[in-house]
Structure 1
Amino acid sequence: VEAIVTAETSAAVREAVVDFGDRVAEYAFVGTYDPVTERIDPVEVSEAGGPAKLYESARQTFPAITAASQNEPQRIVDGQATGGAHGEWLNRLLHFGYRESLAVPVSHCGTVHAIAEFISTDAERFAEPERQAVGAVADAAGMRLSTLESASASNAPIAFDFECQDPSPLFPGLSTSGTIVVEHVALTGRENFHLTGRVD
């Protein structure tokens, strides 16, 4: 998650999500979503080719499109009843040797900034703990993409100062003569943030 919250570009965020995907699945991609045309454009993939290329020409509503349009994860598993376009998606996954996919929106405050799909050769790879981990990564990526897009839209840095008196409630182990240099702040929730920096 640290690679996501400290990423300086949208491309770096997408790359970090795919790197995470490499650890939890055999194949992963992140794509942009166009809600007008309801199309997915895979922009970062764990390996060339593979199922992501199916979105380049697909006119069907495959799981990543549904996940993006509804802002809800979509899980497709071999052996479970799946109909319509998702059934066709599963057939195509089986052609590649995969048996399960989990598509999650990379969103923040209701805005879908990207879509990620994690694909596995094992059915039932994405049990509840894995789905929670994937969801947490997607949420962090959504917040970071939102921050990056907001910053680039306004093209103005956000600067702030804070001062803590003795004893410091944020850094109780810091000596009174110590100084903290905060190099990066990322919101990781409504009431949480992630600081990176150094102690001088």
Structure 2
Amino acid sequence: MSFRAAVVTFPGSNCDRDMAVALEQASGTKPLRVWHGDADLPDNLDFIALPGGFSYGDYLRSGAMAANSPIMRSVKRAAERGVPVLGVCNGFQVLTEARLLPGALMRNSSQHFICRTAALTVENAHSLFTSGYASGETVQIPVAHHDGNYFADDETLDRLEGEGRVAFRYVENFNGSRRDIAGVLNAAGNVLGMMPHPERAVDAAHGGTDGRRLFEAAIKALA
């Protein structure tokens, strides 16, 4: 199978290369590298990734300016067609600001930048992103964020819970996220936003490979 993925780079992205390497290791094919100012994405993409970093220096709100970049119009159209879209860390922030996912990412409750390996519980193991895990499994994925405190109102949270759209939870809630949420899916299940960095957990030499299964699951689901 030829796997056609794209990694979007915004001014201030710093995990775009890591994401591209992870996708290439999992699929055997180099992803397309796309600049945020490009107006269009190819129509034949299988997967789109919005990487971590500090797009536009996190001015206004994290992800707010990137959500209005020209490329995001194409990302939204692709997501509406069912193309899988993964947003990690700053990419998650961009997805919420672009209204592709509900909620918002606020300043960590400690008011400090947090960089560590986090234990996550897999809440939904049935999405195209998470089918490589078992429900209730604990995985180890690195985090590195200052604005990772997931917030949504009770009605939205109840809907996410009821529809099985919480993908991951923190075992230890160190950033204040409501209901320990670390990652959420859209209603169709083809858009995932998560604060932890699976692309930093694809090589045993870096401390673990729990993140690799996310990429492999998506590729298998699309085969």
Common fold: TM-score over 0.5: no
- TM-score after normalising by structure 2: 0.27
Larger radius of gyration, structure 1 or 2? 1
Higher share in helix: 1
